[in-house]
Amino acid sequence: MKRIGVLTSGGDAPGMNAALRAVVRTAMHYDMSVVGIKRGYNGVLMKSENPSDDYIELTRSSVAEIVHRGGTMLMTARCLEFKQRENQIKAIENLRSIGVEGLVAIGGDGTFAGAAKLTELGFPTVGIPGTIDNDLPFTDFTLGFDTALNTICEAVNHIRETNTSHERASLVEVMGRNCGDLATYAGLACGAEMVMIPEAPWSIAGAVEKLRVARTKGKTNAILVVAEGAWESMQPFDIKAFCDQFGLPSYFAEGEMNTQKLCVVLEKLSGQETRATVLGYIQRGGSPSANDRLLGCRMGERAVDLLRNNIGGRVIGIHNNAIIDVPIEEIKGKRRQANPEFMDLMNVLSL
C-alpha cells in the first residue's frame, strides 16, 4: 500500500496529535503518502464544496509542532450518517477516487465499529484507541487516559486544600460513561475515601458510612470520586422518603440522580458540609503527558506498519508495555471490566 488516509473521530483525547504525527512520519519513512481526513467520518463523505474542508495532503512539516498539543489537528466529530451502509460504500468510492488504499481511524469503540464496516466492505482499516475513558477491553491504556488522570489529580489537589481549610467533604465527578477507570485510578492516586463506578454496586448508605468513619478517625475532610456513569450501579434509594424526612420540595425527587443531588443527599444524611465539583471538559484538553505522547508515537507506527503490509481489520493496543494488535471483530460487544486489584487496594488504603 502506498497511500493511506488518517482520521480522528468521537471525543478528542490528548495524544491524538502525537499519533497523527507518527502515522504521517512513519508513512513518509516508507515512501508512502498520507491524506488527513477532517471531522471524523464526515470527511470521507466528501460533501463540502471545497475539498480542503474534507481532506488535506499531510507532509512531514504539516505535523510539526503538534506532538505536545492536546485536541486533534484534523478536528473530530460524530457522523451518524456513516452508520448507513450506502454511506460506507460511498466513503470507500471517495477514498479510492483520491488514490487512498487504506485508513487509520483514531477514536473509541464507535469509531472502531465504523472501521470494522469499512474493512468488511474490502477497505483495509486499522484502529488506534483514542479516548480518555480507557473503556476498551483489549488494551491496558488508551490515548488520553494518562493525561486526563494527571489533570484530575491536579484538580483534586486544589479541591483538597479548600476542603481542608473548611473541613468539608467533596464529591468530584470525573468522566467515564461506561468505565470507572478514571475514577478508580484517580481515587487511588489522590487518596480518596471512596470511588463510585458503573462496574461495581455502591450505595448512598455506604457513602454516608465512609464519611462517618472518616470523621471518627479524625479526618476533617474527605474526597469521594464519582464516575459520570456511576448511576447505573447505584443501589435503590428512596429519594421521596428522603425529601419528606428533610422537608425538601417534591421536585428534588424528580428526574435522574446526579452529582449535585447526591451532594445534597450526602450532606443532609452525614451532617458534613459537602460540595460537588464536576470536572467536565477540563479533563479532555491539555498538553498530553509523556506517556500519552509515547503511546501515540508507538501506536501510530504500528498502524502504518500493518497497512503498508496490506493488513487491515486490526486495532492497536498496549499490553505489559508491548504494542499489540488484535482483530477488530474480536472486541465487538465486549466491555472492559473494573480492575479488581485496584478496587481492593482502594478499600485497604482509603480509611
Q: Closest separation between CB of residue 263 and ligand ADP, Å?
A: 28
User: Residue 234 has what DSSP assignment?
Assistant: B
Q: Show the binding pattern over residues 30-69: x = contacts ligand ADP (CB under 6 A), - = does not.
A: ----------xx----------------------------
Is 133 catalytic? The answer is yes
As measured in angstroms, the least distance from the Cβ of 182 to ligand ADP is 14
DSSP H helical ranges for 50-178 = 85-97, 109-120, 145-166
Residue 123 near ligand ADP by CB under 6 A: no
If binding is defined by CB under 6 A, does position 131 make contact with ligand F6P?
A: yes
Cβ atoms of residues 224 and 210 within 8 Å: yes
Rounded to the nearest whole angstrom, what is the least distance from the CB of residue 46 to ligand F6P in the complex?
A: 23
CA distances from 4 to 17, 218, 219, 247, 303 (A): 17, 60, 57, 63, 11
The answer to whether residue 239 forms part of the interface with ligand ADP (CB under 6 A) is no
Is residue 79 at the binding interface for ligand ADP, with CB under 6 A as the rule?
A: yes
Report the residue from 110, 129, 176, 288 that binds ligand F6P according to the rule CB under 6 A. 176
Residue 176 touches which of ligand ADP, ligand F6P, none (Cβ within 5-8 Å per kind): ligand F6P
Q: Which does 177 bind (CB under 5 to 8 A by kind): ligand ADP, ligand F6P, none?
A: ligand F6P
- Residue pair 58/6 in contact (Cβ under 8 Å)? The answer is yes
CB neighbours of residue 184 within 10 Å: 27
Cα separation, 123 vs 89, in Å, equals 10
Q: Pick one of 5, 15, 107, 176: the residue that binds ligand ADP (CB under 6 A).
A: 107
82 lies in the binding site for ligand ADP (CB under 6 A) = yes
> What count of other Cβ atoms lies within 10 Å of the Cβ of residue 172?
25
Terminal-residue alpha carbon distance, the chain: 57
Q: What are phi and psi of 310, to 5 degrees?
A: 60, 30
Of the listed 133, 146, 181, 325, which one is catalytic? 133
Catalytic site residues?
133
